[in-house]
Amino acid sequence: MKPLPLLLLCTLAGSGGSLVASSIAPTRSRAAEDTNAPDIARLNARLTELGRRAEELERAVAKARLAPTAPQGRTALGGVDAAVERWMKRHAPEPAAPATLDPGDDVDRAVDHILSSDVFGDDELGFWKELRESGAIDAVLARMEELVERSPYDPELRVALAQVLVQKSFERGAGPEREVLLDRAEETYAGALELDEENWRARYGRAVTLSSRAAFLGKTPEAIGEFERLIAQQERSPSEPRFAASYYFLGNLYAQSGESDKALEAWRRGLARFPNDARLAEQVSTYAELEGGGR
């Protein structure tokens, strides 16, 4: 081969390569652009959204700056906890005064008092009220149950336990819980009477408890019977001021049962033995006037 043709061939070959390369490059650029187009579109959309949000934020800030100041008394969010705490302190209940009877320290003193005094007297109402309000009555009740368990044949312990049960029932309103406590009290009084049927405190306590029961239980006739037996027992014994209450309650029960004649008779009978008893005198005077006016 001649040199010239060879040189020309090489030149043509090189030019051809350039032409091929230049023809391929635009094809590759267009392919890359087609591939990246979706990403660019998404990016543009994202930038547009961010710009819109920035504009909204700027408008909100400007509006907040132009808003009127909150009236005095309104609390910033950061001060809510402090405000709540201040309110709680202002409205906190007054601390309760310490109880005179402490459930732990004074139980023995309360039990001794119950066993050594006439806890049925009106002057003992303050003692029972204090015992209930102090919260000590549950501890006293537990101690009395323990004493009865240790000495089951002591009627006075049973009487004392029954009276604590009655007082405990006053913490309950009219309802099943109160009636359950009174049932226990009745049974405990009855147990004392089995040990000593002449025990005045036991029969009086049982009669009063029966008279206080809910009307639908029908305990009134039984209560009347207990008071009649108690009065018969009293009239065989030397008179005591506490005996006057038996006539008073018996007359009340007769009156509640619609037997006004028997009621007046019971009060008069008691007043004849206790002429200074104000309650009996009042009942006799009141019912005597009613009886006279009805004739």
pLDDT at position 282, please?
95
Q: What is the mean pLDDT of the chain?
A: 76
Q: Name the band, by pLDDT with cuts 50, 70 and 90, for residue 99.
A: very low
Share of the chain above pLDDT 90, in %: 47
pLDDT digits (tens, 9 = 90+) for 236-266: 999 999 999 999 999 999 999 999 999 999 9
Query: Among 113-127, 174-188, 281-295, which range has the highest average pLDDT?
Result: 174-188
**Range of 109's domain?**
98-206
Look at residue 274 and tell me if it is in a domain.
Answer: no
Q: Against a cut of 0.95, is the pTM above it?
A: no
27 domain-assigned: no
Residue 88 lies in a domain: no
Which of the residue ranges 34-38, 41-45, 176-180 would you say has the lowest mean pLDDT? 34-38
pLDDT band at 15 (very low <50, low <70, confident <90, very high): very low
Q: Which residue has the tokens 């003992």?
A: 124
pLDDT at 204 over 60: yes
Contacts of residue 167, Cβ cutoff 8 Å, sequence gap at least 6: 128, 131, 132, 137
By the 10 Å C-beta count (0-12 exposed, 13-18 middle, 19+ buried), 61 is classed as: exposed
pLDDT at 70 over 50: no
Q: Which of 17-26, 50-59, 92-101 has the lowest mean pLDDT?
A: 17-26
Whether 57 is covered by a domain: the verdict is no
Q: What is the CATH number of the domain that holds 130?
A: 1.25.40.10
* Overall number of domains in the chain: 1
Q: Is 160 exposed, middle or buried (0-12, 13-18, 19+ CB in 10 A)?
A: buried
Q: Is residue 13 part of a domain?
A: no
Assess if residue 217 is contained within a domain.
no
Any domain includes 6: no
Q: Is the pLDDT of residue 33 over 70?
A: no
Q: Is residue 74 part of a domain?
A: no
Per-residue pLDDT tens digits for 56-65:
656 654 554 5
- The confidence score (pLDDT) of residue 117 equals 74
**Eight-class DSSP state of 104:** T
Phi, psi torsion values for 92, nearest 5 degrees: -65, 140
